[in-house]
């Protein structure tokens, strides 16, 4: 069995926050794969479904971000899951917007939701880190993550969430690297072709003729005066 926990804060006032991108990813998976209705259990909103015949539980802790471990730990203990059976989806300020990283184990990098889960499960659970960008000043991070994504962010956020939903069954198969590769392939933008600059010979000649008008009579007094003035 696979447990996928998306991190966020409950309440409509937080629904669009960068901190809630884990909730957003779970909603996309729920829609794409026809999971059952959301219900309350394990201090969370939970939904059950199947990935290639394997049971998967989606869980959105309702304990607020800093206490996510209470909810995730309760569900993991109930199903007797190992940390490797748990994937946590969360926001990551140290990744550029739209970038993702899959990893198992490691530190929490100041993320209180991960710290709470680590205190319950240990550090070896799997993580899907979704980059939301850094505000540039450490003290501004709490404000940054608790504000909504900007409208312009939807250009990368929506395709990313859909790609995560499309390829989520790979997580149930333990194919984390393949999952990451597929997300990258689905979301990378083709670089625009460089257009070669074409020289407009006629325009250049016209400009040149405007700057240096031909002398109709190179032996006339006007021509001789210009030769003295310009050294020609």
Q: Which residues are catalytic?
A: 19
Sheet of 44-51: strand order equals 39-41, 44-51, 54-61, 2-6, 86-92, 126-131, 100-104
Residues 14 and 147: beta-carbon distance below 8 Å: no
DSSP 8-class letter at 35: P
Tokens of 107: 């530190």
Residues 36 and 90: beta-carbon distance below 8 Å: no
Residues 113 and 68: beta-carbon distance below 8 Å: yes
Report the alpha-carbon distance of residue 114 to residue 119 in Å, rounded: 9
> Which has the closest alpha carbon to 97: 128, 130, 127, 129?
130
């Amino acid at each position: 069995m696979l447990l996928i926990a998306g991190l966020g804060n409950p309440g409509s006032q937080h629904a669009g926050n960068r901190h809630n991108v884990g909730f957003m990813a779970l909603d996309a998976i729920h829609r794409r794969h026809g999971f059952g209705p959301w219900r309350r259990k394990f201090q969370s909103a939970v939904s059950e479904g199947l990935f290639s015949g394997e049971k998967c539980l989606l869980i959105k802790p309702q304990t607020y971000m800093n206490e996510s471990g209470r909810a995730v730990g309760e569900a993991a203990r109930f199903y007797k899951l190992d940390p490797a059976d748990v994937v946590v989806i969360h926001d990551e300020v140290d990744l550029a917007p739209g970038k993702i990283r899959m990893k198992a184990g490691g530190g929490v990098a100041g993320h209180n939701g991960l710290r709470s889960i680590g205190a319950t499960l240990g550090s070896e659970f799997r993580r899907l880190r979704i980059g939301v960008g850094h505000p540039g000043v450490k003290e501004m991070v709490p404000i940054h993550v608790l504000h909504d994504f900007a409208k312009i962010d939807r250009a990368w956020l929506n395709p990313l969430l859909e790609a995560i939903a499309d390829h989520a069954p790979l997580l149930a198969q333990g194919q984390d690297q393949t999952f990451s590769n597929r997300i990258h392939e689905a979301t990378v933008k083709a670089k625009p072709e460089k257009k070669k600059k074409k020289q407009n010979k006629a325009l250049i000649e016209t400009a040149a003729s405007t700057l240096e008008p031909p002398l109709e009579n190179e032996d006339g007094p006007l021509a001789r005066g210009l030769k003295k003035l310009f050294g020609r």
